[in-house]
Chains A and B, each alone.
Chain A
């Protein structure tokens, strides 16, 4: 029963995560990635038999063969794997949040460049941009060279915002 519930929950998390990633907007993307990684972690959790009230500790004097057969202790390995995976996905998520906020500073919007020009998603609760102040129609990676992209988004206020975050100013 527990295993079945876990399986449904994993499926639900994957579905929600995939849905969120396919939405417009960076915040939804980050939330979707979080849901996906939770789904993977729960799936990892379900890879060992789910035991209740059985700590992952082998007593010194127990009968090991019998204990292995009856599974009267929890398998510690999936928990160790999940712990590692959580730490890694936490680090990566933090990095994406920083990248998103940087892009926010450059473009003044939560949306990716290009999307600003052509799509106005008024139903987006996270949208903070003014849809009438649009960037050039062609402002997307596919249509524009990196050099031009750098020029399009070279807003002086972004430079000022980022300047005080410099790790190491050239002396």
Chain B
């Protein structure tokens, strides 16, 4: 199958075009603007997913694509690049955004949807897609800002005091993380003379170790801030519980995961030596992230606060996979990264499902406080079962995707003789299970509390269907990955092998050295 590389513009162009159209309609106050917006969003998300799946099929069979924007040869133009790691992320994020559309349509209050939820969700998708496909460090910063700007608006959408309060913390901390990324891009240009990621990869290995350490440190701080890794995770549990549940679910599947993707993309590509040398540091951060996340979750009294601490905890597992990515192991190089990618996908599916299910309860009962809930299993058996499966998938029970991911990560950590962090991850698994049991028990088990009357809006079967069906799809996918583990693992291995294959990346992008370009330009000049 041949594929024109121009298709790589679509994951950014489709959401942008539709979002712009929706914003114009909103500003013109067109009649039935809301319905038109929803229809346009559906069209955008469907076509985006189709493009992502086409790219996924192409790259999983070994292909890679690179396109130079405006046909300026690399490194002068902006390169976009896709391999399996990129397309897996494009597909999963596209799928999550599509499934969250009916969820949002059924659950958003009219005020929030009128204030522009739908275009902002599309712009968030555009930022995430752009960060996935870009092959240019500065462009990565720009797409991060697109992603963050739309997330700022989504977080503050509705404007309750707690949202405003959370937004200020979120914006300030993320802005400082972005400055670190910008500084890293600037220093990269100042020392290596390029921003093209393929060319950085070429030149970075020959750069002095001080330069490598400086840039790697800044990038690690920047991406760790986005991914909510141990010392810089405070913004996440401070903000994720405040917006509308649909927004929280969208964030959990995109924001932190984009940060993690960027680590997966840049570290094996730029710093193959440092990734090995910094293994103790990365493993320490991974262990602390897991442990502090799960311990923090125990102290939380509401559904979404508890789940947002679990987001942090699970990020630690992915970082653990990245830390052992290039270590020699009996499974071959890159196996750790393959499992980290598998775990990332698992986490995107399951965590979003949990936040959607928990958000449904919170919306319907008007509270997320665990001590005011209880006994929902009799009234909501389907929801209870779905939530149960998702919770135990997160905890890592077979036959779910969490089991495969955790088992594999443990095996590869043991094989690289990192017993301490493997032990920590086992303890964290047990604690996660306890926390998930506690959560499920508080919401669904026990005697029904009568103080809270369920909101009548959620009695309608259509609304219920639109809220429960997307969650069910996500949980089913998690189970499918767990049951058909071999194909999933094979796909993840292809992605990991492509991600650590620096030569392949450079050959695909094919940046021209400056001197030959000058020579060529001179020849062409009459």
Q: Which of A33, A48, A65, A107 contacts B518 (CB 8 A)?
A: A65
| Chain A residue nearest in CB terms to B148 | A92
Type the 1/0 row for B429-455, where 1 means its CB is closer than 8 Å to any CB of A: 000000000000000000000000000
Contact A154 B186 (CB under 8 A): no
CB distance from A40 to the nearest CB of B (A): 5
Contact A149 B165 (CB under 8 A): yes
**Is the C-beta of B211 less than 8 angstroms from some C-beta in chain A?**
no
Give Cα A102 to B238, complex, Å.
18
| Contacts A47-B189, A88-B142, A170-B114; A150 near B152 (Cβ below 8 A) | no
| Contacts A102-B159, A103-B161; A48 near B522 (Cβ below 8 A) | no
Residues of A near B176 (CB, < 8 A) are 21, 33, 36
CB distance from A153 to the nearest CB of B (A): 4
B95-103, B167-175, B313-321, B397-405: which one contacts chain A?
Answer: B167-175
Type the 1/0 row for A104-139, where 1 means its CB is closer than 8 Å to any CB of B: 001100001100000000000000000000000000
Main SS of chain A's interface residues?
helix
Residues of B near A33 (CB, < 8 A) are 172, 175-176
Contact B161 A153 (CB under 8 A): yes
Type the 1/0 row for B282-323, where 1 means its CB is closer than 8 Å to any CB of A: 000000000000000000011000000000000000000000
Residues of B near A167 (CB, < 8 A) are 114-116
**Is the C-beta of A12 less than 8 angstroms from some C-beta in chain B?**
no
**Residue of B165, B175, B187, B515 ringed by the most chain A CB atoms within 10 A:** B165
Give Cα A100 to B111, complex, Å.
22
Residues of A near B521 (CB, < 8 A) are 64
**Is the C-beta of B156 less than 8 angstroms from some C-beta in chain A?**
yes
CB distance from A85 to the nearest CB of B (A): 6
Contact B186 A81 (CB under 8 A): yes
Main SS of chain B's interface residues?
helix
Contact B190 A113 (CB under 8 A): no
CB distance from B298 to the nearest CB of A (A): 15
| Chain A residue nearest in CB terms to B188 | A47
**Is the C-beta of A84 less than 8 angstroms from some C-beta in chain B?**
yes
| Chain A residue nearest in CB terms to B138 | A81
**Is the C-beta of A146 less than 8 angstroms from some C-beta in chain B?**
yes
| Chain B residue nearest in CB terms to A144 | B162
**Is the C-beta of A157 less than 8 angstroms from some C-beta in chain B?**
no
**Is the C-beta of B6 less than 8 angstroms from some C-beta in chain A?**
no
CB distance from B367 to the nearest CB of A (A): 7
| Chain B residue nearest in CB terms to A167 | B115
| Contacts A43-B183, A99-B168; A146 near B142 (Cβ below 8 A) | no
Contact B114 A64 (CB under 8 A): no
| Contacts A43-B183, A92-B171, A141-B165; A77 near B156 (Cβ below 8 A) | no
Q: Which of B149, B161, B518 contacts A92 (CB 8 A)?
A: B149
**Is the C-beta of B110 less than 8 angstroms from some C-beta in chain A?**
yes
**Is the C-beta of B241 less than 8 angstroms from some C-beta in chain A?**
yes
| Chain A residue nearest in CB terms to B239 | A141
Residues of A near B183 (CB, < 8 A) are 40, 43-44
Give Cα A40 to B179, complex, Å.
7
Contact residues, A18-62 vs B (CB, 8 A): 21, 26, 29, 33, 36-37, 40, 43-44, 46-48, 60
Give Cα A110 to B161, complex, Å.
14
CB distance from B231 to the nearest CB of A (A): 16
| Chain A residue nearest in CB terms to B166 | A141
Q: Which of A46, A47, A102 contacts B164 (CB 8 A)?
A: A102
**Residue of B179, B242, B519 ringed by the most chain A CB atoms within 10 A:** B179
Residues of B near A152 (CB, < 8 A) are 161
**Is the C-beta of A11 less than 8 angstroms from some C-beta in chain B?**
no
Identify the 3 closest CB pairs spanning chains A and B, nearest first: A47-B190, A153-B161, A146-B162
A-B contact pairs, 9 of them (CB 8 A): A40-B182, A85-B182, A89-B175, A92-B145, A92-B175, A96-B175, A102-B159, A103-B164, A167-B116
- Given contact pairs A33-B172, A150-B160, A150-B161, a sample of 7 additional A-B residue pairs in the complex whose CB atoms are under 8 Å apart: A47-B187, A81-B186, A92-B175, A95-B152, A106-B164, A167-B114, A170-B110
Question: A residues bordering B, Cβ < 8 Å?
Answer: 21, 26, 29, 33, 36-37, 40, 43-44, 46-48, 60, 64-65, 68, 77-78, 81, 84-85, 88-89, 91-92, 95-96, 99-100, 102-103, 106-107, 112-113, 141, 145-147, 149-150, 152-154, 162, 167-168, 170
Question: B residues bordering A, Cβ < 8 Å?
Answer: 26, 29, 110-111, 114-116, 138, 142, 145, 148-149, 152-153, 156, 159-162, 164-168, 171-172, 175-176, 178-179, 182-183, 185-187, 189-190, 195, 238, 241-242, 301-302, 367, 369, 514-515, 518-519, 521-522, 525
